[in-house]
Structure 1
């Protein structure tokens, strides 16, 4: 019997920035992420399409587990009303380990109106049973989100 090679991981992070501000960075200004989180993201380039448009492809240079990596991500869905963005990795280092890798980020105002809950979901299909679960990639998303929040709330 084969072991599960498909999976889903989720995590919630509390931040101070308003939901719309955080969503706007991921949805239409990912080029700002390398300024906010320079230890993790070294650069983003628009590969095809337009910033903030579904179907556009973004090239990422980033550091994961101490190693320089690259990825191309397609914007699959943008839900402006619910501050939710969905991306698929279509090229790069992650596809050596995963057949599919989908990232979903949603920012929601906390009850009472102070702060935001950021919900990250990673959906993936591993290349083999030996491929590790992507816990460190979820941690990477948390670090980058906290860096963006610090940047957005610093008044910079």
Structure 2
């Protein structure tokens, strides 16, 4: 007896960050939500179709276990399909799939969870209580990332931070922004249309570059001065000195930092800003832009 259960939750934090966490870093969720004790990789690689992961979680006050195979990933739709292949769920249902889809419309992000399952007989209840657990995890992830995104926010000044893990070489990623920003548009043309040198030399502190980019479907321009390059920390800092951003903000400083630990490379983007007045919204849409750009650069450098 095939059945379906759907739940939708609006979140204020970035939809791309939510999707990226669930796809590439589900093992971090145990640090975010009390509903999850651990998530382990059994086969394949994190974030890849066909990989197998297991979850230890709490449901109705009981410790539970589930092993899932990632059946499908749609990066454009920000959708992931998990099929349960072992665990407590299959003691109740013949088959069970969980599909998570994040729909982004401007600053609105809608997380949709869909359960597709088959009951052994009609007396089996629908998994509403399990859906409550999933929604609880979703809200915990949202709250966690809101805490991260608004780490500093006093009056007109603020700081936005977002992080994502990449599989490609962290040194290569850093080099792109430290010395080769004019190559970025070839890797993510939907986000960046060009980066031209206005003054100085590429890769030098004090040089000025002009970025042409697309945000929310609009063509934009930013003139930025390279304030700092730290090769040891793999960090580059840009200060906006002209362009569309300064129509709403008095100052904007953007820092991209790559932290490498073994094979793991964590990219952190920071936006420090001061608004012109209280009516100006925080530039959260720029986090979606840099995350999308980061993912495109990663994909470009993955082995073909």
RMSD: 1.1
Distance in 1 (CA, whole Å) between partners of 2:291 and 2:237 is 16
Whether 1:18 and 2:174 are equivalent positions in the alignment is no
Q: What is the match of residue 240 of structure 2?
A: 89
Distance in 1 (CA, whole Å) between partners of 2:226 and 2:303 is: 28
Q: Which residue of 2 aligns with 1:48?
A: 199
| 1:114 CA drift (Å) | 2.0
- In structure 2, how many angstroms separate the alpha carbons of the residues matched to 1:153 and 1:32? 16
Counting only pairs closer than 5 Å after superposition, residues 53-92 of structure 1 correspond to structure 2 as 53-92=204-243
| Equivalence for 2:277 | 128
Instruction: Give the whole-Å Cα distance in 2 for the aligned partners of 1:154 and 1:62.
Output: 27
Cα distance in 2, alignment partners of residues 151 and 4 from structure 1: 40
Q: Counterparts of 2:248 and 2:303 in 1: how far apart (Å)? A: 37
- Structure 2 residue aligned with 1:104, among 255, 269, 289? 255
Among candidates 117, 142, 146, match of residue 295 of structure 2? 146
Matched, 1:114 2:263: yes
Q: Deviations over 1:126-153 (max 9, x none)?
A: 1110101011011111111111111122
Matched positions, count:
151
Distance (Å, rounded) in 2 between the aligned partners of 1:133 and 1:43:
25
- Rate the CA distance shift 1:83–1:131 in 2: closer, same or farther, 3 A: same
**Residues of 1 paired with 2:303 and 2:223: CA distance?**
30
**Mapped partners of 1:45, 1:11: distance in 2:** 26
- In structure 2, the residue matched to 1:32 is 183
**Deviant stretches of 4+, over 3 Å:** none
Structure with larger RCO (C-alpha < 8 A, sep 6+) = 1
> TM-score with structure 1 length normalisation?
0.93
SS at match of 1:17: coil
Q: Residue 154 of structure 1: CA displacement? A: 4.0
